[in-house]
């Protein structure tokens, strides 16, 4: 169970009860890489819906952080809040080691994302958590799993569509 931006409790398994869902765990709502990925999901949303599926993003923070992400990025899909990290742990979402933050490739990737117009915002409660993407069909059938190894290691929208 997680919360929606109003603070209401949502059972994650209910999101794929009637239709497939692209379930996207974000590091935290202020992550510049996650903001870029959220924009890619937003831009691919119509194609995902055309395949009979929906998108649900889950991030760390509080309801205010979730509302901020939805409004500033004009997201057409639901954003849920995993305040205590239980959902991320249940999904086996990976974490960064503090030394990973010193890797030059990470800094080059962040510079590339900033040049694309995305900027770091408020950091969530678990900034070392990475993201993950899943495609889950009704009945809980896992059609696609991508566990990120770095903050910019998101699945492509094309791969998500192919899984649908």
DSSP symbols for the chain:
-EE-TTS-EE-GGGGGSSS-EEEEE-S-TT-HHHHHHHHHHHHHHHHHHHTT-EEEEEESS-HHHHHHHHHHHT--SEEEE-TTSHHHHHTT--B--GGGGG-HHHHHHHHHHHHTT-------S-TTB--EEEEEETTTEEEEEEE-SSTT-PPPHHHHHHH-
pTM: 0.85
Per-residue model confidence as pLDDT tens digits over 43-93: 999 999 999 999 999 998 788 888 888 888 899 999 999 988 899 999 999
């Amino acid at each position: 169970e997680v919360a929606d931006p109003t603070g209401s409790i949502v059972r994650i398994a209910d999101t794929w009860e009637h239709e497939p869902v692209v379930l996207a765990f974000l590091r935290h709502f202020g992550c510049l890489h996650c903001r870029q990925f959220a924009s890619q999901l937003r831009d691919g949303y119509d194609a995902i819906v055309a395949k009979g599926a929906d998108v649900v993003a889950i991030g760390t923070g509080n309801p205010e952080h979730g509302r901020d992400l939805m409004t500033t990025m004009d997201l057409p899909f639901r954003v849920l809040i995993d305040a205590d990290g239980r959902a991320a742990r249940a999904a086996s979402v990976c974490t960064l080691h503090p030394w990973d933050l010193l890797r030059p490739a990470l800094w080059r990737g962040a510079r590339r994302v900033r040049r694309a117009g995305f900027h770091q915002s408020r950091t969530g409660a678990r900034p070392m958590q990475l993201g993950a993407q899943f495609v889950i069909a009704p009945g809980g059938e896992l059609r696609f799993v991508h566990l990120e190894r770095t903050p910019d290691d998101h699945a492509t929208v094309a791969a998500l569509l192919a899984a649908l």
